[in-house]
Amino acid sequence: MSEHHPDDPTRVIAWDSGRAELQRLGAMLGPVWFSADGHPDFAPLQVAPWFAEPGAAALPGILRRLRGDWPCVPFGRTDRPEGLPAGWALREPGDACGHGYAANHEWDWLETDDPQVLALAIEPPGPVKRMTRVVEVEAHARALLMTLVIEMRAPATLPIALHPTLRLDLGSVRLALPAHEGGVVYPVPAEPGVSLLAPDARFERLDQVPLAAGGTLDLTRYPLAADSEELLQLRELDGPVALHYVDAGWTLQLDWDHRALPDLMLWVSHRGRAYPPWNGRHLALGVEPVRGPFDLGRVAAPPAEHPLADRRGLWLTPEEPFILRHRISANPA
């Protein structure tokens, strides 16, 4: 007899190499602990510190228990930043749910026969009829496999992303990327008065991203020397991304369906937001596989000459469910 209840806010998978927690709100995964004999446990997924504080219940759904890894369909902000460069065409987001209805609301549990599999579903308003998210343990590995099934009630082109968000408070961290086509910085300061990168700058190497004040910034090594809030996107990655937690003695690897989501958006949240609930204490790196122009695809489209001009989203139809898979794994360094 299952001990689960349909109203459980969270459920847990445990196996010989780890433990993972999945919540109904936003179908967010986290925290996740990986274990290995002779090594301290490793919990790399970010958990925002305010979830248990007074007032958290009044926050927007996506912020209330912000953590770890979750799907964003459709992906993107619904407020339009000021100062977009000339040529960006304005769009209407359709609703006020940043990163999509499903990221802000509770999903329903689906019962499974396997104790190492958790599943959730949600039926949002709009063109998406139903989304199903399955999280399962990969046998004989320190790995979790995530499957997202999107069923449509009407055809639509949607910007889509996965949103793994990883800790930067575990000492020295080095980000290692596969081959890619270079990148571009967010078209406006990600956090006005705080962001350091040159808006709209193009770059070839992540360890030499142009600064607004001149010079470059190495965004492959953390923590940074100065606090900031940055957004940038890398094009056409051809393999998994690794984060080497040097001091913790572990390496985390993230891989996904690169044909569906060819790019990677980086959200460098380095204590750059001083206002509530962030209060200058959020230290994390969003490593977000994406098909779309940054997180702007719901409110704006870049001009034809922009490197992300062809990143409008995925064309999805009711005729066939769309299936998207990704994998998070960890091993001692």
CATH number at residue 312: 2.70.98.10
Predicted pLDDT at 4: 86
Q: Is residue 190 part of a domain?
A: yes
Q: Is residue 309 part of a domain?
A: yes
In this predicted structure, the answer to whether residue 190 has a pLDDT above a threshold of 50 is yes
Q: Is residue 2 part of a domain?
A: no
Q: Is residue 277 part of a domain?
A: yes
First to last CA, the chain: 40
Residue range 47-87, pLDDT digits in tens: 999 999 999 999 999 999 999 999 999 999 999 999 999 99
Residues above pLDDT 90, as percent of the chain: 96
Q: Which of 81, 104, 50, 64 is nearest to 300 (CA)?
A: 81
Predicted pLDDT at 146: 98
Residue range 201-240, pLDDT digits in tens: 999 999 999 999 999 999 999 999 999 999 999 999 999 9
Predicted pLDDT at 2: 53
In this predicted structure, the answer to whether residue 193 has a pLDDT above a threshold of 70 is yes
| Mean predicted confidence (pLDDT) in 155-166 | 98
The confidence band for 139, taking pLDDT boundaries of 50, 70 and 90, is confident
What total number of domains does the chain contain?
A: 1
| Mean predicted confidence (pLDDT) in 189-210 | 97
CA 126 to chain centre: 22
Residue range 109-129, pLDDT digits in tens: 999 999 999 999 999 999 999
| Mean predicted confidence (pLDDT) in 296-325 | 97
Burial of 56 (0-12, 13-18, 19+ CB in 10 A): middle
| Mean predicted confidence (pLDDT) in 293-322 | 97
| Gap between the Cα atoms of 120 and 131, Å rounded | 8
Q: Is residue 299 part of a domain?
A: yes
Instruction: Answer for the pair 265, 183: CB distance below 8 angstroms, yes or no.
Output: no
Predicted pLDDT at 1: 37
Instruction: Tell me the residue range of the domain where 250 lies.
Output: 10-332
Q: Is the backbone of residue 39 left (phi > 0), alpha (psi -120 to 50) or beta?
A: beta
CA angle 132, 291, 294 (to 5 degrees): 115
Q: Is residue 3 part of a domain?
A: no
Residue range 2-42, pLDDT digits in tens: 578 999 999 999 999 999 999 999 999 999 999 999 999 99
Q: Is residue 217 part of a domain?
A: yes
| Mean predicted confidence (pLDDT) in 301-322 | 97
Q: How many CB atoms lie within 10 A of CB 333?
A: 13
Q: Is residue 41 part of a domain?
A: yes
- Could you check whether the bond before residue 81 is cis, i.e. omega within 30 degrees of 0? no
CA 264 to chain centre: 10
Q: Record the pTM.
A: 0.96
Residue range 261-288, pLDDT digits in tens: 999 999 999 999 999 999 999 999 999 9
| Mean predicted confidence (pLDDT) in 86-102 | 95
